[in-house]
Amino acid sequence: MAVDDRPDPISEMAPNEAINEAHSAAATHKRVNAWQQPGPACLDFRSDTMTTPTASMLEAIMYTTLQDDVMVEDPTTNNLESYIAELAGHEAALLVMSGTMGNQVALRTHLTAPPHSVLCDIRSHIYNYEAGGVSSLSSAMILPIRPRNGHHLTLEDVKEHAIVSSDVHACPTRVISLENTLDGMIMPLAEVRRIAEFARAHDIKLHLDGARIWEAVAANAASLPDYCTLFDSVSMCFSKGLGAPIGSIIVGSKPYIAHARRIRKMIGGGTRQAGVISAAARVAVDEGFGHGPNGEGGNLRASHARARNVAEMWTSRGGKLANPTETNMVWLDLAREGISATEFARLAAEEGLKAFSGRLVVHYQITDEAVERLGRVMDAVLRRGRERETGVADGETTDGVNNSNGNGERYGSKESK
Ligand SMILES: *Cc1c(COP(=O)(O)O)cnc(C)c1O
């Protein structure tokens, strides 16, 4: 195929150089194929959103159908929707442009008549990273709850804070929105079951922000339908660890998805030749997640093994983790070392790596080379921490970066999730 046969002037260069060249060339319309691997993601620990779309996705886009999805006429998009609905154990599905659009459309579809409130984890994406969409698009009050166990919401947390009341003063909870994985941590299936039972008993809808639900399944927590069928709606991302360039999907009942299609249209999310999105998304699911309800044959599991390796590199050097490594995220406790997120990002950049903070996302395109460099960054971090403790490097911290870690940055708050 023509795309693969192009001369490749950059394959002989060092990875950093090659990546920069490919991207500046793409930006200046030189004929260089930016879809080839390794892409810029191979040295980027900021997020799994950084995964570079692959040549196989480009090939799928070349051979996709190009009919109108607002008219529900595009076979590739219709196939993707019915395939994901079936894979998740739901009746229907709807392609959306982003995970944020997925959550917002899903919640707006549930929430029809204020006053109403949405209960969620205080660390959740819908509360922290969706520009306040729940309040502006759904006119809903958010009840952000800090889980008592520090890991995931439990039925006890939900019972304590859900507003179940006919009192005219109250703002009744109409949706409980869970997130799995959250900060790379898995919500146990048994706890979801307990909360689902409570929600059903009180006529509360249950939504899952499952942007990274694929990761929980790949970690063998439960199958995709085991999780998804407990919810009235689930949103799932194609463009995180699965690596698609664009796209997310919502699953639910047929009437629910029919209404969601209208809401999607209302906010400008109806796209015409959506096959260019859904073709790549299907490749992302097949290659990233795999071919069955348990993520058979997907490439996420290898990234989890690599994440465990990265965590072990840190702890064996004497570092501490801020959160357990259960899927593809490793949380270095930088505060304990007296290192700010900014300083860490700078130390990583010295090794040619990208990082936001102590949250390292180990997606499938992270290479051995990147992990090796990361080991040297860890050495530098821990050396600095120790020097600071013993006062050796007292004069050394005047480099314009506030190393006190008291600079008002909430730990890990600068992430685009
Ligand atoms: C990434 C993410 C989203 C959506 O992000 P977009 O950038 O809008 O695609 C939603 N929820 C969670 C938990 C996420 O990690």
Q: Is residue 153 part of a domain?
A: yes
| 64: preceding bond cis by omega (within 30 degrees) | no
Write the residue with the smallest CA distance to atom 6 of ligand 1. 99
Q: Are 36 and 66 part of one and the same domain?
A: no
Q: Which amino acid is at 375?
A: G
Query: Is residue 179 within 6 Å of ligand 1 at its C-beta?
Result: yes
What is the distance in A from the centroid of ligand 1 to the CA of 361?
14
Residue with tokens 């599905």: 93
Say how many Å lie between the CA of residue 214 and the centre of ligand 1.
Answer: 13
| 394 pLDDT tier (thresholds 50, 70, 90) | very low
Q: Atom 14 of ligand 1 has which residue's CA nearest to it?
A: 211
Q: What is the pLDDT of residue 28?
A: 72
Does 357 share its domain with 281?
Answer: no
266 plus 310 within the same structural domain: no
**From the CA of 377, how far away is ligand 1's center (Å)?**
28
| Residue 319 domain flag | yes
Burial of 173 from C-beta contacts in 10 A (0-12 / 13-18 / 19+): buried
Q: Is residue 55 part of a domain?
A: no
Q: Is the peptide bond before 293 cis (omega within 30 degrees of 0)?
A: no
pLDDT at 2: 42
Q: Is 211 in the pocket of ligand 1 (CB under 6 A)?
A: yes
Report strand pairing: 359-361 vs 329-332: antiparallel
Task: Classify residue 128: in a domain, yes or no.
Answer: yes
The boundaries of the domain holding residue 166 are: 61-289
Residues 32 and 108 in one domain: no
Q: What is the pLDDT of residue 127?
A: 98
Would the CB of 212 count as within 6 Å of ligand 1? yes
Please check whether residues 164 and 312 belong to one and the same domain: no
> Of the candidates 131, 178, 118, which has an alpha carbon nearest to the alpha carbon of residue 153?
178
pLDDT tier for residue 15 given thresholds of 50, 70 and 90 = low
pLDDT above 60 (res 7): no
Please, which pLDDT band fits residue 50 given cuts at 50, 70 and 90?
Answer: very high
Q: Is the pLDDT of residue 269 over 60?
A: yes
Q: State whether residue 219 is helix, strand or coil.
A: coil
3-state secondary structure of 210: coil
Q: Among 316, 313, 90, 300, which Cα is nearest to 207's?
A: 90
302 φψ region: left (φ > 0), alpha (ψ -120 to 50), beta (else) = alpha
Whether 235 maps to a domain, the answer reads yes
Number of domains within the chain:
2
The answer on 367 and 241 residing in a single domain is no
In the predicted model, what is the mean pLDDT of residues 146-152?
98
Q: Domain for residue 34, yes or no?
A: yes
Mean predicted confidence (pLDDT) in 341-357:
96
CATH of the domain at 23: 3.90.1150.10
Q: Which residue has the tokens 């759904």?
A: 138
Lowest model confidence (mean pLDDT) among 77-81, 318-322, 363-367, 410-414: 410-414
Structural domain ending residue among the three candidates 269, 289, 309: 289
Residue 266 lies in a domain: yes
Nearest ligand 1 atom, CA 239: 9
pLDDT at residue 6, rounded to an integer: 45
Q: What's the length of the chain?
A: 417
- CATH number of the CATH domain containing 151: 3.40.640.10
Of 355, 300, 310, whose CA–CA distance to 330 is shortest? 310
Residue nearest to atom 10 of ligand 1 (CA): 99
Q: What is the dihedral of CA 54, 247, 280, 55, to 10 degrees?
A: -10
Per-residue pLDDT at 14: 62
Q: How far is CA 25 from the centre of its chain?
A: 29
Closest CA relative to residue 364, chosen from 416, 298, 291, 278: 298
Whether the Cβ atoms of residue 88 and residue 228 lie closer than 8 Å to each other: yes
User: Number of C-alpha atoms within 13 angstroms, CB side, residue 1?
Assistant: 11
User: Tokens standing for 325?
Assistant: 């490594």
Neighbours of 201 (CB within 10 A): 9
For 117-126, 254-263, 276-285, 377-386, which range has the lowest pLDDT when averaged over its residues? 377-386
Q: Which atom of ligand 1 is nearest to the CA of 124?
A: 13
**How far is it, in rounded angstroms, from Cα 207 to Cα 110?**
9
Residue 385: per-residue pLDDT: 77
145 has which bridge partners?
121
Across the beta sheet with 117-121, what order do the strands follow? 92-96, 248-252, 233-237, 205-209, 173-179, 117-121, 141-145
CB 358 within 8 A of CB 331: yes
